[in-house]
């Protein structure tokens, strides 16, 4: 299996114009340098330049920002990639303005309304060109407030706190919010109604830095599928995530107290956890470090956006003044770390395509079994025909002679015919009623940690009536000097297909080393949960880097099912 190509997180900086009121509008010390540089000049002795993918100065328009970020995201989404944009920065630095803006003013619209407008315009163009194409779009909008997840599009009663939702993972370890409402959308106008409703439901409050400071992290998810009537064309699906993070704050500046102070602590905690995750993902010196994304609800919800199946953009907004220089430098460092993060985005084919492909493989497998059975039957029939010819000749000789030897040969021929017939019946019975493989699927993994590691692998086969089988495994890896040992254990199979009631068998091997192959015996299907006792120890000796060898060498496990 070839490795998925990596794509780096794209990072852009937007410098907010100065605000001409009060003492906060001090000397400008942050400026744009070229199309991708930010120059920080606190004084003539301390000058530092940062480089990113794009930098937008104070004169950049909303349209400029969209063309560099929103337009590429739209193109990748229609190719079938998951895409994500998250806006980060100090409170009052212009995150929500850049992401949402004024949806009633064409010039002041942010990335989100422009993206949605182009999403539906492109959908209409594609449907007009191909009558067999159907494009479906649905919206979900949630917020993380005080480490609780709420549905921003669910009906609310005044004075009553909305229900807190739980975060779950499906069988493919994809994160989702259980109970969040899904709204199917047919056009731009309906999408804008949902966007306005969701923004109106967000937790906001006035601080000294911002009159309408967002007190929660808002995540809008747009699910899009492209379905074709013809099976010759690939059905695609993708998830588009637009994230408006709450602004980081310093209590000494915002002068928050009471509930606002508690909100600020939760906001800063989740942003701190997100920052630690970014640092871990971007630290190329410590590839084996454990990265926990469960420290906060925010990092868990954004887990696919960093190192996962997504193409990700980051827009960091900063203030240009000396008064905010501490927060600005923190944001620029935050963004620099994101530049080093690499994701493994892949095109998302729909379930229907996967099922059809596996059906074709199953048909080819059954046709091969039938061919083998017919060949064996033809051989047996040929022997029967030869015996019948011999018997006919012997009968002819008996009719012309009473020789005892001829009668003995005839009896022997008759006995041989009976034996061949019995063997033929035995072969046919074994082919029709014996154990015969009805499916097989090969899954792969690589060793990623020292010690015990538990995981579940999806077996890529069509199961004719349910989810794909799941193989439960664990590894126990020890690195020592120039040697390395890895014990691989397969313990059980979940969702085993009901039609394979004849039992299950697993075979494992390491990479191209065929002599490392080991197979279990065929075990009972056990009502869809076969219990396995298959283990193998893989040892690597006298290599310069056993850790690198194991991590780059894939392990393969073949799962087979048998008919009764």
What is the C-alpha separation between 229 and 368, in angstroms, rounded?
30
The proportion of the chain whose per-residue pLDDT surpasses 90, expressed as a percent, equals 30
pLDDT at 366: 85
Among 457, 241, 442, 471, CA closest to 345: 241
Residue whose pair of structure tokens reads 């993972």 in the numeric block: 169
pLDDT at 242: 94
477 is in an annotated binding site: no
pLDDT at residue 1 tops 60: no
Instruction: Indicate the angle between helix axes 111-129 and 62-78, nearest 10 degrees.
Output: 40
95 is in an annotated binding site: yes
The pLDDT-based confidence of 288 (bands split at 50, 70, 90) is: very low
What is the C-alpha separation between 63 and 84, in angstroms, rounded?
19
Counted residue by residue, the chain has a size of 564
Parallel, antiparallel, or unpaired: how do β-strands 46-51 and 7-8 relate?
unpaired
**Do 214 and 96 contact (CB within 8 A), yes or no?**
yes
pLDDT, one tens digit per residue, over 320-337 is 998 889 899 989 998 998
State the CATH architecture for 7-248+258-349: 3-Layer(aba) Sandwich (3.40)
Question: Which stretch of 88-92, 138-142, 199-203, 542-546 has the lowest confidence by average pLDDT?
Answer: 542-546
* Helix runs in 48-154, H state only: 62-78, 95-99, 111-129
HEC string of 374-420 equals HHHHHHHHHHHHHHHHHHHHHHHHHHHCCCHHHHHHHHHHHHHHHHH
Identify the top-confidence range among 43-52, 186-195, 441-450.
Answer: 186-195
What is the C-alpha separation between 308 and 86, in angstroms, rounded?
15
pLDDT at residue 253 tops 70: no
Identify the top-confidence range among 24-28, 227-231, 412-416.
Answer: 227-231
The proportion of the chain whose per-residue pLDDT surpasses 70, expressed as a percent, equals 79
Average pLDDT for 417-427: 64
pLDDT at 111: 96
Question: Which stretch of 110-114, 178-182, 346-350, 470-474 has the lowest confidence by average pLDDT?
Answer: 346-350
What does the domain layout of the chain look like in residue ranges? 7-248+258-349, 354-433, 437-562
221 is in an annotated binding site: no
Among 184, 171, 96, 207, CA closest to 137: 184
pLDDT at residue 252 tops 50: no
What is the C-alpha separation between 158 and 145, in angstroms, rounded?
17
pLDDT at 396: 75
259 is in an annotated binding site: no
pLDDT at 290: 46
Higher per-residue pLDDT: 155 or 358? 155
pLDDT at 553: 82
507 is in an annotated binding site: no
Buried b (16+ CB within 10 A) or exposed e, 341-366: bebebeebebeebeeeebeeebeeee
pLDDT at residue 313 tops 50: yes
pLDDT at 426: 56
Average pLDDT for 78-82: 94
pLDDT at 257: 47
pLDDT at 282: 60
371 is in an annotated binding site: no
pTM, rounded to two decimals: 0.60
pLDDT at 80: 93
Higher per-residue pLDDT: 401 or 80? 80
**Do 300 and 175 contact (CB within 8 A), yes or no?**
yes
pLDDT at 365: 83
Higher per-residue pLDDT: 343 or 161? 343
- DSSP-assigned beta bridge partners for residue 480: 483
pLDDT at residue 143 tops 70: yes
pLDDT at 355: 62
Question: Which stretch of 67-81, 240-254, 260-274, 485-499 has the lowest confidence by average pLDDT?
Answer: 260-274
Dihedral pair phi/psi, residue 238, rounded to 5°: -155, 165
pLDDT, one tens digit per residue, over 115-141 is 999 999 999 999 999 999 999 999 999
Instruction: Indicate the angle between helix axes 404-433 and 351-400, nearest 10 degrees.
Output: 170
Average pLDDT for 530-558: 82
The pLDDT-based confidence of 210 (bands split at 50, 70, 90) is: very low
What is the C-alpha separation between 217 and 205, in angstroms, rounded?
13
pLDDT at 484: 81
Gap between the terminal Cα atoms of the chain: 32
Q: Which two tokens stand for residue 310?
A: 């997504």
Residue whose pair of structure tokens reads 């003995």 in the numeric block: 408
Out of 2.60.40, 3.90.920, 1.10.8, 3.30.43, the CATH code matching 437-562 is 2.60.40
- Cα–Cα distances in angstroms (integers) from residue 266 to residues 246, 269, 301, 310, 319, in the given order: 10, 5, 16, 27, 23
Across the chain, what does the average pLDDT equal?
81
90 is in an annotated binding site: yes
**Do 372 and 436 contact (CB within 8 A), yes or no?**
no
pLDDT at 364: 82
pLDDT at residue 287 tops 50: no
What is the C-alpha separation between 480 and 450, in angstroms, rounded?
11
511 is in an annotated binding site: no
Residue whose pair of structure tokens reads 């630690």 in the numeric block: 276
pLDDT at 427: 53
- Cα–Cα distances in angstroms (integers) from residue 506 to residues 51, 204, 433, 465, in the given order: 51, 56, 22, 22
403: left (phi over 0), alpha (psi -120 to 50) or beta: beta
């Amino acid at each position: 299996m070839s490795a998925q190509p990596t794509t780096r997180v794209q990072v852009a900086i937007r410098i907010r114009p100065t605000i001409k009121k009060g003492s906060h509008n001090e000397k400008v010390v942050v400026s744009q340098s070229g199309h991708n540089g930010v120059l920080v000049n606190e004084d003539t002795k301390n000058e530092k330049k940062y480089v990113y993918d794009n930098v937008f100065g104070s004169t950049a328009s909303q349209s400029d920002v969209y063309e560099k970020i929103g337009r590429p995201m739209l193109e990748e989404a229609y190719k079938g990639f998951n895409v994500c944009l998250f806006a980060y920065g100090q409170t009052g630095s212009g995150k929500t303005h850049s992401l949402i803006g004024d949806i009633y003013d064409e010039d002041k619209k942010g990335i989100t309304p422009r993206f949605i407008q182009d999403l539906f315009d492109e959908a209409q163009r594609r449907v007009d060109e191909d009558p067999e194409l159907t494009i479906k779009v649905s919206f979900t909008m949630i917020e993380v407030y005080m480490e609780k997840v709420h549905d921003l599009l669910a009906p609310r009663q005044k004075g009553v706190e909305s229900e807190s939702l739980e975060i779950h993972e499906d069988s493919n370890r994809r994160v989702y919010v259980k109970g969040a409402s899904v709204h199917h959308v047919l056009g731009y106008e309906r999408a804008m109604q949902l966007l306005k409703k969701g923004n109106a439901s967000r937790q906001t409050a006035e601080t000294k830095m911002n009159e309408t400071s967002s007190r929660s992290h808002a995540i809008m998810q747009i699910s899009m599928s492209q379905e074709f009537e013809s099976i010759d064309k690939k059905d695609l699906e993708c998830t588009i995530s637009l994230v408006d993070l709450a602004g980081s704050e310093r209590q000494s500046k915002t002068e928050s107290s009471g509930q606002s102070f508690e909100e600020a602590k939760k906001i800063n905690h989740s942003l701190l956890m997100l920052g630690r995750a970014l640092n871990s993902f971007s630290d190329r010196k410590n590839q084996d470090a454990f990265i926990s994304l469960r420290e906060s609800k925010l990092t868990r919800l954004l887990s696919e956006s960093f190192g996962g199946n997504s193409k990700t953009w980051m827009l960091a907004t900063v203030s240009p003044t000396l008064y905010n220089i501490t927060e600005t430098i923190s944001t620029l460092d935050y963004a620099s770390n994101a530049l080093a993060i690499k994701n493994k985005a892949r095109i998302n084919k729909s379930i229907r395509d996967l099922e059809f492909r596996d059906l074709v493989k199953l048909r080819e497998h059954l046709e091969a079994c039938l061919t083998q059975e017919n060949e064996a039957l033809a051989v047996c029939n040929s022997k029967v025909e030869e015996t019948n010819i011999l018997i006919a000749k012997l009968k002819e000789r008996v009719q012309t002679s009473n020789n005892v030897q001829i009668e003995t040969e005839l009896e022997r021929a008759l006995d041989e015919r009976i034996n061949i017939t019995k063997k033929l019946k035995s072969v046919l019975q074994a082919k029709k009623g014996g154990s015969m493989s009805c499916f097989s699927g090969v899954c792969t993994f690589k060793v990623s940690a020292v010690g015990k590691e538990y995981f579940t692998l999806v077996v890529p086969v069509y199961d004719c009536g349910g989810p794909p089988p799941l193989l439960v495994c664990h590894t126990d890896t020890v690195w020592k000097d120039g040697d390395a040992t890895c014990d691989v254990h397969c313990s059980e199979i979940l969702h085993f297909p009901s039609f394979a009631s004849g039992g299950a068998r697993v075979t494992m091997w390491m990479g191209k080393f065929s002599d490392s192959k080991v197979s279990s015996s065929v075990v009972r299907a056990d009502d869809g949960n076969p219990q396995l006792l298959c283990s193998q120890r893989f040892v690597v000796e006298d290599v310069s880097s056993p850790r690198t060898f194991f991590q780059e060498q894939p392990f393969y496990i073949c799962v087979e099912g048998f008919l009764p």
